[in-house]
Amino acid sequence: MGQWGGGFQAEVKVTAGRSAIKRWTVTRTFADGRSVTDAWNATVSGSGASVTARDMSYNGSLGAGAGTTFGLLGSRNGGNSVPSLSCTASRPDEQCGPGAACARPAAVWWGMGPTT
């Protein structure tokens, strides 16, 4: 994790709460001219300030209290504020689709190193 004049590398951790989860989705909104250029351990869609990351086939199911991470590379033009993050997931016994109320993971963590 780190940053340099025109870019950054970040790690995002999704952690299940007291119940197992599957099929997580993290949505990020950047406020200061940053955008994602590459990612690993997640399928990323969107562009510009709003980007959505979804689990891969190998890291979508998490047992109670377990976590997984995914990484991002991006460009930045200006500040270095922590983005707005939201995360949804479904429990193994839920059918979670558009408009459904889904389980929420216990935590989503954004790490990028010290700000400059």
Q: Report the CATH number that the domain containing residue 16 is assigned in CATH.
A: 2.60.40.290
Residue-level pLDDT at 77: 75
Residue-level pLDDT at 58: 95
Number of domains into which the chain is organized:
1
Residue-level pLDDT at 79: 64
Read off the pTM. Answer: 0.75
- Tell me which residue range forms the domain holding 35: 2-111
Is pLDDT of 69 > 70? yes
Burial of 47 (0-12, 13-18, 19+ CB in 10 A): exposed
Q: What is the pLDDT confidence band of residue 105, given thresholds at 50, 70 and 90?
A: low
Residue-level pLDDT at 11: 85
Residue-level pLDDT at 106: 47
116: in domain = no
Is pLDDT of 50 > 70? yes
What gap in Å lies between CA 25 and CA 10, rounded to an integer? 17
Q: Cβ(64)–Cβ(112) under 8 Å?
A: no
Query: What ranges make up the beta strands (E) of the chain?
Result: 2-4, 7-15, 22-29, 35-40, 43-47, 50-54, 67-75, 84-90, 107-111
The residue with greater pLDDT, 77 or 12, is 12
